[in-house]
Amino acid sequence: SREELGQEFKAVYVVSRDLAALTERDEVRRLLIRSARQLVPLEAAAVVMEDEAETRYVVEEAHGWAREFEGREVAITERTWAAWVLRSGEDPCLLDNVAGHQDRMPILVLDEASSRAESLLAVPLKASTRTLGALMLMGRRGAFDAAASRVLGVLANQAAAALSTIQMKDRIKDLAMRDGLTGLYNRRAFDDELRRAFGREDRQHGRLALVLLDIDHFKKLNDTFGHPAGDAVLRHTARVVEQHLRRGDQAARFGGEEFAIILPGTGEGGAVRLAERVREAVEKAQLVFEGARLSVTVSLGAAVWPDDGKDQEALLTAADRALYAAKQAGRNRAALASGLPPAASSFAPTI
């Protein structure tokens, strides 16, 4: 009725006001699902978000039976209703008989059991000309109608605007945390990320590895070929490091020709494998600068929390000792803090 519709849009106004005050993307997604649950009878719901490259989507927030798929990634080209909505970017899609539709597809992920939902309402999250994601609502036959589609479409637009604003602010903040030459995180961002990583692993009783990397004979290279060549070597090394990171790993320019890599949930074996892969890749990579072939190698030191250091400062010291040992042993190699003798009081600094 007109009265019910008015009440629904009044509720949307309240939610829109709340959305405008949020500063985190996960807060927006949670409020979106909570509001949808209050507006329509749901059995399950999910917010899927498209990545920046527009090649995949992630089930970021879910309710009901969809919770088992939180965190799952799906290629945007796959045959799912979520992928279809993201590709089409059209108005809300309402299906009151999912199983009977001529295009029989799973809703969220490929290995989703069939007939999980009778009715589907999929609402794109559109900001300007780009589809950021979609709100996927699942229920029994007749759970959704055209009025619900209109109201949730308005709500989704408000959520998309809030997400777009937060993304823009996050990009600006991210730029301030980046090293201008290499694009890696700067020292300040590294310190913040290491502190957060310590907190996460401590809560989960996990492990954490830290790898320090130093470009061998960098001063000599600068003196021989000039600072522009040195800059090229720094950018080249940063790219090689990035190519070997796993999801969740973080690399930073630690200072000068030194880099740092944070490896959450990683023990000694994982740290050694990554250090060796990076070392070999840098050595084998061909870097030509203004017609000159530059030979670049790196030395690396790895330490693991909590075995090699109980806090940030102790872990950094342990990794730095391992790096110094690698350089003293001839450079172009990796060393583990656990393989070193106990620290002497007059420990020499990294050179």
pLDDT at 23: 75
Query: What pLDDT, on a 0 to 100 scale, did the predictor assign at position 304?
Result: 96
- Given CA atoms 114, 61, 33, 82 in this order, what sign does their dihedral have? negative
What is the CATH number that goes with domain 187-339? 3.30.70.270
Tell me the average pLDDT across 110-116.
79
Q: Is the pLDDT of residue 10 over 70?
A: no
Query: What tokens were used for 180?
Result: 């201008």
Helix (H) or strand (E) holding 161: helix 146-176
Length of the chain: 351
Residue 171 burial (CB count, 10 A) = 10
Q: Is 84 helix (H, G, I), strand (E, B) or coil?
A: helix
Q: To which residue do tokens 């969809």 refer? A: 66
Given the structure tokens 């007749």, which residue do they identify?
142
Strand pairing partners for 250? 262
| Residue with tokens 């009715």, as numbered in its chain | 119
Residue 69: what are its φ and ψ, rounded to 5°?
-105, 5
pLDDT at 348 over 70: no
pLDDT at 232 over 70: yes
Distant-in-sequence contacts of 324-328, Cβ < 8 A, 24+ apart: 324/348, 324/349, 324/350, 324/351, 325/301, 326/299, 326/300, 326/301, 327/214, 327/216, 327/299, 327/351
Structure confidence at residue 7 (pLDDT) = 60
Query: What whole-number percentage of the chain has pLDDT above 70?
Result: 93
- Catalytic residue chosen out of the listed positions 257, 258, 276, 283: 257
Per-residue pLDDT for 85 more than 60?
A: yes
Q: What is the pLDDT of residues 121-130, one digit of tens each?
A: 999 998 877 8
| Backbone phi and psi for residue 118, each to the nearest 5 degrees, phi listed first | -85, -35
The pLDDT assigned to 351 comes to 40
| Of the candidate ranges 23-32, 99-108, 228-237, 337-346, the one whose mean pLDDT is the lowest | 337-346
CA 117 – CA 120 distance, rounded (Å)? 7
Determine whether 55 is exposed, middle or buried from the number of CB atoms within 10 Å of its CB (0-12, 13-18, 19+).
Answer: exposed
70 is a catalytic site residue: no
Which tokens belong to 127?
Answer: 């900001």
Q: What's the average model confidence in pLDDT over 49-69?
A: 91
Mean pLDDT of the region 86-94: 84
Residue 347 has a pLDDT of 45
Of 197 and 53, the one with more pLDDT: 197
| SS3 assignment, position 349 | coil
Instruction: Using a pLDDT cut of 90, give the percent of the chain over it.
Output: 54
Query: Stretch 25-46: mean pLDDT, rounded?
Result: 89
pLDDT band at 11 (very low <50, low <70, confident <90, very high): low
pLDDT at 273 over 90: yes
Q: Are 25 and 167 in contact (CB under 8 A)?
A: yes
Band (pLDDT 50/70/90 cuts) for residue 6 is low
235-252 exposure pattern, b = at least 16 Cβ within 10 A, e = fewer:
ebbbebbeebeeeebbbb
What does the pLDDT look like over 147-198, one tens digit per residue? 888 888 888 888 888 888 888 888 787 778 899 899 999 999 999 999 999 9
3-state helix, strand and coil shares in percent for the chain, rounded to the nearest 5: 45, 25, 30
Q: At what angle do helices 218-225 and 227-243 cross, to 10 degrees?
A: 130
Mutual angle of helices 2-20 and 146-176, in 10-degree steps: 10
Could you tell me which CATH class the domain 2-176 is placed in?
Answer: alpha beta
Question: Which H/E stretch holds residue 44?
Answer: strand 44-50
Domain ranges for the chain, please list them. Answer: 2-176, 187-339
Inform me whether the pLDDT recorded for 236 exceeds 90: yes
End-to-end CA distance of the chain: 77
